[in-house]
Amino acid sequence: RILGLGAYTSVVGDAGKTIADRLDVPVTNGDSYTVAIAVEAVQEAARVMSIPMREATVAVVGATGAIGRACAQLFAGECARLTLVGRRLDALNEVRELCEGQLADVTVSTEMSAIYDADLILTVTSAVHAVIEPQHLKPGAVVCDVARPRDVSVKVAAERDDVLVIEGGMVEVPGPVDFHFDFGFPPKKAYACMAETMALALEGRYEDYTVTREIELSRVREIREIAGRHGFRLAGFRSFGEAVSEATIANVRERATVRRKTWSPAV
């Protein structure tokens, strides 16, 4: 009754539009719920790290892509400063125009060094290799990595025990479920892009929902409500494939407090 495109399959066919145009079956690429869950993950990480969102500097790396652009627009109404990072300045300025007029003071940059001042970072590039290295992050920073392959270097896990890196996009699915495939997640966990298709089916919304690379913010808000109504919710934090405990978060906060006193960027 509905076809969901997840991960790299959502990239082909104009993010689902070409496929939707050629099929009689409704199609969604899952990006609306991916955005909703990514933003919620950053908000929750800010809470547990005692970072007030309305006073925070938020950076979006990959801000000109579909997911990054939508996330940036949502963050613009919630934070004090918003830094948009990408490869093309002209495209970044287009996103900045979409974000201006809300709470945040918006700046753009093509340099990764621009994220050093960020308290909260959401990264969602299509890079083949890691783009965020240990020296890019200040003590106490939170990084939500939505990209696959990961944007955050494994060196960060090895060298920076004073920052919190979490994986974006993991959702807890209601009821017993067998995916007949090992995604590397614990039981009952799925990517948000997959959960969007499930939630739409449970709601009986058999329609082309998220297609093309223009994500409608109204759909992001709507799918969040639909998914919540059916019992989908943000799963616990994971970092580089491992669960993040409350003790780990407390240790990160403690180390960050100490290292802020002497830290300076090496970028």
Residue 107 CB burial class (10 angstroms; 0-12, 13-18, ≥19): middle
- pLDDT tens digits for 50-78? 999 999 999 999 999 999 999 999 999 99
pLDDT, residue 10, reads 61
Q: Which of 119-123, 127-131, 190-194, 262-266 has the lowest mean pLDDT?
A: 262-266
Residue 150, pLDDT > 80, answer yes
pLDDT band with cut points at 50, 70 and 90 for residue 183: confident
Q: What percent of the chain has pLDDT over 90?
A: 78
Q: What percent of the chain has pLDDT over 70?
A: 96
In angstroms, rounded to a whole number, what is the distance separating the alpha carbons of residues 88 and 17?
A: 25
* For the chain, domain boundaries: 34-169+237-259
1-7 average pLDDT score: 84
In angstroms, rounded to a whole number, what is the distance separating the alpha carbons of residues 64 and 235?
A: 27
pLDDT, residue 57, reads 98
Residue pair 75/95 in contact by the 8 Å Cβ criterion: no
pLDDT, residue 20, reads 83
Considering the chain, what is the average pLDDT of its residues? 93
Residue 8, pLDDT > 80, answer no
pLDDT band with cut points at 50, 70 and 90 for residue 168: confident
Of residues 211 and 72, the one with the higher pLDDT is 72
Q: Which of 2-6, 36-40, 48-52, 200-204 has the lowest mean pLDDT?
A: 2-6
125-138 average pLDDT score: 94
For 152, list phi and psi in degrees, rounded to 5: -90, 125
Tell me the two tokens of residue 60.
């979006």
What is the gyration radius of the CA atoms in the chain, in angstroms? Answer: 18
Q: Say what the pTM is.
A: 0.93
Tell me which fold the domain 34-169+237-259 belongs to. Rossmann fold (3.40.50)
